[in-house]
Structure 1
Amino acid sequence: MKKLQYKVLWVALSIVGVMGCQPDLLETIPNDRISKEIFWQTLEDAEFAANAVYPSLDGTSIFSYDGLSDHLLTNHPFNANVELQRGFGTIASGRYFNEWQDAYQTIRRANDFMDNIDQVEESDQEAINRLKGEVMTLRAYQYIKLAMLFGDVPLLTSGIDIEAGRTVTRDPVSEIWDFISSDLSQAAEWLPYQNGSRIGKGAALGLKARAMLYAGRFAEAAAAAKTIIDSQEYALYPDYFELFQYEGENSQEVLLAREFAADVNSHNIYATAAPWSQIPGSTGSLYVPTQAVIDLYPMANGLPISDPESGYDQLNPFENRDPRLYHSVFLSERTPLPDGGTYGSTPGTDGSDAVQITVYSTATGYNIRKYVDEEDYTNPSNSGLNIILLRYAEVLLTYAEAKIELGEIDQSVYDAMNQVRQRESVDLPPITPEIADSASELRELVRTERSVELAFEGFRLFDIRRWELAEQVMPGVPMGRYYEEEGDWVQIRLDGFDRSFDPGRDYLWPIPQRERELNTNLTQNAGY
């Protein structure tokens, strides 16, 4: 035993002696993570760091923004959106915190990239600038959402430590828009139009056009949109339905998309949107259209259904309507389902998705058809369908709206709107000066056009805020489809699900309480 003790002591003393001779022996580089000491050396390192920012782009969450508007109902009663729709959101609501946290996590990654990219010793400066442009665009994407959701927010353009994070303050939203405009302009200079599957010049310019439209800076919005239009790099995909199916992926209409791949990087947008009957063993129908959006689709002759000359028949409400309605919504027994059957939602019947047939079936009698691809039917939670975040139709409508708000109504405004309306698979009659020539008439038309063209793509919440329409369209009981019951024509009413909107409070979300507990310098928005 004593001999063993002596040996242990000798080994211990030997180790101490060696350590004394080699003071840096324990200063090793961790082998379970990438250290800054060995990173930021090659162009490949820079590409890896830029790639780490891409996953922050929205995916299936696009529906959740419309799910807080008048156009989609959050159909599952225990979903976090429900309390917000009904006006019950508080400073502790998880949805507010998650949006804030996700945005600033992305901004932190982007700032880390921008703080370190110039350490890379690379002779190909064009490649370095291209990566900078991609990351700056991704950072701006998050700031656009933060500005629209929260108003004044901290503008962080470089990395900060924990202590600094406890003292930052909110910057005026005007400064956020200034930063977005500047960063996206610089990014556009560095980016090529075609950049493989990565962010290109069109995404930077398109997001700038969107941001400046949201900010009410119409001249900048129109200029950015016109640069894209004049480039002739993009065009409308002829088939509106296929645009949101696998056939339309990577088409010339897409400026920015979140890319996915089945079995590798998949999502569940099919399971989120499809009718309950099309998702064996799952829930489905998380968000469902309301009558409010259905009524915005004009007749095939271009007239609104409210026009006595339109030919609209309330007893046959889906006849001769804008084709985009059929492509975007599961409507009635005429709509084919992915399993080969037909959609049936009439209450009190044995239709495939009759209202109240289950707790998860549609409550309004409608379901979203965009992004419901029959290829995903057999594996609904393993979709590899790309999610479009910016497309050429939006650019055209942004240009038209900005020019109308500027009072610069010329033929280019009509051309932009009519390109969208006269897509090959839509083919509505053109808007002409004889139909509408005043700013007020054209404003109404372009807003309607935007609402139906971009339905369920995540724009409605922001649009009704910037148009200051939310207090008009949000309050009240959500309404569903009309149907015949005992000889009477009745409409589904979701009594007990009253939505509310306080214009003195609800145009902005509150700064999350958890953030204000960590940083008392963050002031709160009015009404919270």
Structure 2
Amino acid sequence: MKKIYIYAIAALFVTGNYGCKKFLEQVPNDRLTFDESFATRSTVEQLLANVYSTLPDEMQQRFPANGNTAGAWTGASDEANYTLPSSFSNNINSGNWDATTGQVNTMWQLYYRGIQASSNFMANVGKCTDCNNNGVDLVSRYRAEAKGIRAIYYYYLLRQYGPLVLLGNDPIAADAPISAISKPRSTFDECVDYIVAELDGAAEGLPALPQGDSDYGHVNKAVLHAYKIQVLLTAASPLFNGNTAYADFKNADGTQLVSQTVSTAKWTRAAAAAKSFITTYPNYSLFKKTGTAPAGVDQTLYNAFLAVRDVMLTDWNSEVIFAKPNADITNLGYNMSPNHNNGSGGDKGGSFLSASQQLVEAYFMANGKPTTDNTSGFTRTGFTDYKAPDDNIIRSVQNMYVGREARFYAGITYTNRKWINPNTTLVTSFEFNGNAGKSSIGNDDYSSTGYTQRKNLGLSGWSTGGRTNIFIRLSEIYLDYVEAAYEANPSDPDVLVYLNLIRERAGIPQYGTGANALPVPADLRAAIRLERQVELAFESHRYFDTRRWKIAATTDKFINGLDITKNAATGFYNIVQQESRVFDAKHYLWPIPNGEIQKVPLLVQNPGW
């Protein structure tokens, strides 16, 4: 057979790293023939690694869609302002992007390339001559993994671009004419049904859970079930469930691409999938941790703080369903770490991920009440001597940061907070003349809001990498179930059961009628969404949640922060609008790349673009 260098078929197999230990970390020999590359297990496993390689590494959001599928989700949501001038989130927030923008094209092409790579792998893995391990049929397992990953890529495209072109199960030849791939977009519901069927079909050929160390980082039944929940939740949400704003969103032949009829059954379907996961995989549990609280720190708060902090830092803990092992987290860590002028090494970062005042005030008080509740005790004025859960002394801090819940202290770095590294005496100040303030920094390496993200930052600072990058954890499944169950049937008792499990782990009072319980909120939908905003903060959910709920036109118009041009005595703690953002109706979906529209006449553009 004619030799085909591996790099010459890059469109079929994307080079990359994904897996556990040494598996899925290599690239096939670049001088094998196409058939030879599938002949042996060792090379097949390397090609399977390439199938996985298009999965988004969201720890690289500093450079979104820069040859990868990392998104701009944190900085383009109301969670934070990504102050790097080069960050694509700034283009999204200013409205300075369209169907010709490079990142728009990159994301579309990479995911479809990953889909094609999966199809090619599935079609050729049967050529392996030694993929039988003591009677275990590895060919079937590898094929099922590729099928599951392909479905996941379709889902990522679906939530970002809307209704898709479904390519079918067979790989498309590299020299196929345009006529062979010129297909119209399938309806949103058709895409959902296809993806769910593919996830279910792939799951049949996979173990339920990891069978050994080498399985971590691979998809299995539980992983694909978790993605199925995400697909169904998206399909049930207002953006795609009877959205009349998309009444004219049709193919050239008049096919309606988004159903105009609201269906409660879609919520029921999503709820059933989530409840099935919970009952089928009882081995997963919310991560908890205990320790001896420092003097002056409430024990319940301290235990909750350890749990919600370390769930992100403890590899493959009881809550992690799917993750990328050995991820390079140093870029993300550097972005989160304040630019301490008296720090060094992992304690001196870039201050690029500036948490918003909106998120700061979204976290609950320690009494479990939202800051908007007049009886919560929250105030924006004055100072109090207070000891944070991970501090060794009492400090005078602004009252906005006093008496807050554990997730706030795990998630946000604020002024006069001891730095995260227990081996340093650094105390962060974002005031104008503070050690991480604007006055002594000549570039953009300062917080634009007076806060930085703290969640997911290792205790040694930013310079230590090699942790897991979590894709899905159990708390998300619980929150998916709570939302879907409520929308399907607001009186479903499971809504409070699983919402309260999240709150219990966070160390705050539960909703109900028992001792120390809080009354069930009158607007339970808003309470569920707020819990989700807080629990999953900085995990690339908020961007998509506000869009599928159709509230981004309200939430994504501005970013508030503190007045970083002043010190405490002159107005630093005044809340000011730090950034005005552009969000129009068309921004609920990304545009289809203009080049794709030109190549495939049957491909209609998304509304407004």
- Pairwise same-fold verdict (TM > 0.5): yes
- In the aligned structure 1, how far is the partner of 2:499 from the partner of 2:143? 34
Q: TM-score, normalised by structure 2?
A: 0.74
CA contact (8 A) 1:342 1:352 kept: no
Gapped runs of 5+ residues in structure 2?
Answer: 6-28, 62-69, 237-265, 289-306, 382-398
Q: 1:509 to 1:416 in 2, by over 3 A?
A: same
The aligned runs of 1:101-140 (5 Å cut-off) are 101-120=109-128, 124=135, 126-140=137-151
Q: 1:266 to 1:36 in 2, by over 3 A?
A: farther
- In the aligned structure 1, how far is the partner of 2:102 from the partner of 2:193? 29
Is 1:515 aligned with 2:596? yes
The answer for the alignment partner of 2:98 in structure 1 is 90
- Structure 1 residue matching 2:450: 3-state secondary structure: coil
The aligned runs of 1:382-401 (5 Å cut-off) are 383-401=465-483
How much has 1:140 moved relative to structure 2? 2.2
- In the aligned structure 2, how far is the partner of 1:506 from the partner of 1:173? 17
Is 1:234 aligned with 2:284? yes
Segment of structure 1 superposing worse, 52-61 or 115-124: 115-124
The answer for the alignment partner of 1:329 in structure 2 is 412
- In the aligned structure 2, how far is the partner of 1:221 from the partner of 1:69? 25
Q: Deviations over 1:435-454 (max 9, x none)?
A: 5658x722111111111110
Higher relative contact order (CA 8 A, sep 6+): 1
How much has 1:48 moved relative to structure 2? 2.9
- Structure 2 residue matching 1:190: 3-state secondary structure: coil
CA contact (8 A) 1:299 1:310 kept: yes
State the identity as a percent.
28
CA contact (8 A) 2:3 2:33 kept: no
Is 1:64 aligned with 2:81? no
- Structure 2 residue matching 1:256: 3-state secondary structure: strand
Is 1:454 aligned with 2:536? yes
Q: 1:474 to 1:114 in 2, by over 3 A?
A: same
CA contact (8 A) 1:376 1:383 kept: no
Gapped runs of 5+ residues in structure 1?
Answer: 1-23
Q: Deviations over 1:135-187 (max 9, x none)?
A: 22322222222111111222123321344456243222222211111111122
Is 1:219 aligned with 2:265? no
- In the aligned structure 2, how far is the partner of 1:376 from the partner of 1:345? 17
Q: TM-score, normalised by structure 1?
A: 0.85
- Structure 2 residue matching 1:422: 3-state secondary structure: helix
Segment of structure 1 superposing worse, 226-235 or 299-308: 226-235
Is 1:344 aligned with 2:428? yes
How much has 1:337 moved relative to structure 2? 3.5
- In the aligned structure 2, how far is the partner of 1:125 from the partner of 1:519? 43
The aligned runs of 1:324-473 (5 Å cut-off) are 324-338=407-421, 340-349=424-433, 351-355=434-438, 357-358=440-441, 359-375=444-460, 377=462, 380=463, 383-407=465-489, 409-423=491-505, 426-432=506-512, 441-473=523-555
- In the aligned structure 1, how far is the partner of 2:75 from the partner of 2:539? 10
Is 1:309 aligned with 2:375? yes
Structure whose alpha-carbon radius of gyration is higher:
1
- In the aligned structure 2, how far is the partner of 1:454 from the partner of 1:85? 21
- In the aligned structure 2, how far is the partner of 1:354 from the partner of 1:367? 12
- In the aligned structure 1, how far is the partner of 2:524 from the partner of 2:45? 45
- In the aligned structure 2, how far is the partner of 1:138 from the partner of 1:116? 16
- In the aligned structure 2, how far is the partner of 1:355 from the partner of 1:406? 49
- In the aligned structure 2, how far is the partner of 1:155 from the partner of 1:279? 51
Count of residues in correspondence between the two structures: 488
- Structure 2 residue matching 1:431: 3-state secondary structure: coil
The answer for the alignment partner of 1:156 in structure 2 is 167
- Structure 2 residue matching 1:53: 3-state secondary structure: helix
Q: 1:517 to 1:275 in 2, by over 3 A?
A: farther
CA contact (8 A) 1:400 1:413 kept: yes
The aligned runs of 1:293-304 (5 Å cut-off) are 293-304=359-370
Q: Deviations over 1:296-352 (max 9, x none)?
A: 101011111111111112220011111101101112212424372444334322x23
- Structure 2 residue matching 1:374: 3-state secondary structure: coil
- In the aligned structure 2, how far is the partner of 1:140 from the partner of 1:284? 37
CA contact (8 A) 1:63 1:456 kept: no
When you count helix as a share of all residues, which structure comes out higher? Answer: 1
Segment of structure 1 superposing worse, 407-416 or 173-182: 407-416
CA contact (8 A) 1:133 1:187 kept: yes
Amino acid at match of 2:146: V
How much has 1:520 moved relative to structure 2? 3.7
- In the aligned structure 2, how far is the partner of 1:125 from the partner of 1:164? 40
CA contact (8 A) 2:352 2:446 kept: no
